[in-house]
Amino acid sequence: MWAFYCFLLVALVVADYPHRVARNERRPPPCMYRKSNDSGTDREPCVYEDFDLVDPSTLRREIYMYVLMDHLAELQRQAYSYPARNRVVGGPAHNETIEYIAGELEALSEYYDVERHYFDGNVRISQHVVLRVDGKPMVAEGLGYPRPQVVKGRLVPVTAWGCNPEDYPDSVEGNIALAAIDGLEWGTSQVNHKSTCSFNQIIAAALVKGATAVITAAIPEERASKTDIPVLQIWQRDAWALRLQLEEDPVGPWAEINVHDYPMKRVESYNIIATTRHGDPENTLMLGAHTDSVAAGPGINDNGSGTAALLELAIQLARFRTNSRVRFAFWTAEESGLKGSRHWIERCTEEELDEIRVYLNFDMIASPNFKLGAYDGDNSDYYIHAPKGQARAGPRGSEHAEQLLNDFFWSQGWNTSSSPFDGRSDYGPFIAKGVPSGGTFTGAERNKTEAEWVMFGGSAGEPYDPNYHLEDDNMDNVNFTAFEMNVNAIAHALGTYARGFEGFPERGPRPERVKRFDDEDDSVELKTGTGSLCGGRVRTGVHDGVLYRG
């Protein structure tokens, strides 16, 4: 028996040897690393000019799935090493994630300048609202943070946006108001109208008329951190279905809202920003992915997939020379409201923002029931309503990023279906600042359409990721086909823009500066970290709540 186990051990070591050797061979040149051996002696300096200029096809060939899977396995190990089994911001597993990323990149100190961008602020560790209409679940997002409660009642339609008490009929007392369904135009769009009033106005008007909750198809101008009653946002197509139901039966369907606790916690964390030491700083390509998960699970698709892809691409890029400066961002606290990316970009000067020719974001690129395609940068597929009712495309250049990514998918014989450019992930603060943006996304909680089933297979009528924000978002439920397709597309975009921005649109005008609603519970304190903040500036003080909107 012992002989058998010895034989098995030797067999496993031998079988793993090519894997380990191959992985070591996939490292950048030794001179890019800090030390040559354990004694701490310096390596011979690299001659950067002797490196081959990056090429999209060559860079793609340097990426291997087993290495990407190693990264995912490490992220899952970090999560499962602790009782919470997640990588939520501020938790020990997420701290390990940050150190893992920083360690891999800081080792390449001859190629990258790596910054740890300090973040200290209040975050909501989990947010969970369950909406059922006539006993059937409906996707909804809580826009405010009331006390935990269960609210039941009839859905009563409200005139227009529900901004004023006179918009609410008397029958809304003791029931749930359904706002912003007047004038909805049915189509394939899943995105929502912009409200004409603030979040607090809607709540105040609803309370005057005795509503127990508000469900809206609009996006309020501002959000609140504390509310007296639940306020939920639903998708436009669901609002349309409810409107038809109300036309057939004016009594209105029965709804139930279950608000679970929203714990708030002050955390310390870091964004990891790695910028090439070479390349034209006035033509900077920036790529980003968030590193944290929700409290429910390890977050391997959301967003271990984007994290692993960018980490390995950053490592392999160090084999090449680039004409453009390249910056990789690994954002913290995305699941708490894009706070890491927002925290970083709000402190950039206009000149620093102008240096970023395009920002590419990668979030959930391995959904089990996936679709393929880039964000709809030119707004040709999704009609997103601006405050004045006009369609709003991304900042100038976003359409170029969309075309580049989709052209690659098509060149490989893959179909594409774009995703709404609604600022839902970390590209949101960038498009709000007028920075051209793009990226890929394989879908979250929405259902795959029949047309997408024809293009990509899978299951029509089922969520793109049935494990979205749940405990089963782990390696067992990652679609590695979608993952590989997206990593190849990212490598293509990285290799293309790292060579230069020929044919890319000229920089557009800067957006108008506006004040963002923020209260004391959402404050973020800035402290001096170990690196510079957005172009070398370090600021201290209290978060000033400033955003930019196009």
CATH 3.40.50.720 fits 50-125+264-504+514-549, yes or no: no
Q: b vs e for 45-75, b when ≥16 Cβ sit within 10 Å of the residue's Cβ?
A: ebebeebeebebeebbebbbeebbeebbeeb
CB 226 within 8 A of CB 114: no
**What confidence score (pLDDT) does residue 525 get?**
38
Token couple for 367: 């959904």
DSSP letter string, 136-184: EEE-EEE-S---SEEEEEEEEE-STT--SGGGS-GGGTTSEEEES-TT-
What is the rounded average pLDDT for all residues in the chain? 81
Those residues with Cβ within 8 angstroms of residue 548's Cβ, 6 or more apart along the chain or in another chain: 432, 433, 434, 510, 511, 512, 513, 514
**Spatial separation of the C-alpha atoms in residues 466 and 472, rounded to whole Å:** 9
Query: Which residues face 439 on adjacent strands?
Result: 361
Q: Is the pLDDT of residue 537 over 70?
A: no
Question: 398-435: per-residue pLDDT in tens?
Answer: 999 999 999 999 999 999 999 888 888 999 999 999 99
Q: Is the pLDDT of residue 1 over 90?
A: no
> Which of 213-222, 290-299, 382-391 is predicted least confidently?
382-391
- Most confidently modeled range among 29-33, 36-40, 354-358: 354-358
Question: 244-281: per-residue pLDDT in tens?
Answer: 888 888 888 999 998 876 667 788 999 999 999 999 99
This prediction's pTM: 0.74
Q: Mean pLDDT throughout 326-333? A: 97
Distances (CA, A) of 459 to 160, 364, 449, 452, 464: 36, 18, 9, 9, 9
* CATH class of the structural domain 129-259: alpha beta
**What confidence score (pLDDT) does residue 548 get?**
22
Under DSSP, the state recorded for 365 is -
CB 66 within 8 A of CB 312: no
Query: Which residues face 133 on adjacent strands?
Result: 136, 255
**3-state secondary structure string, 293-334?**
ECCCCCCHHHHHHHHHHHHHHHHHHCCCECCEEEEEEEECCC
Under DSSP, the state recorded for 131 is E
Q: Active-site residue numbers?
A: 334
Higher pLDDT, 219 or 301: 301
Higher pLDDT, 290 or 423: 290
| 223 band by pLDDT with thresholds 50, 70 and 90 | low
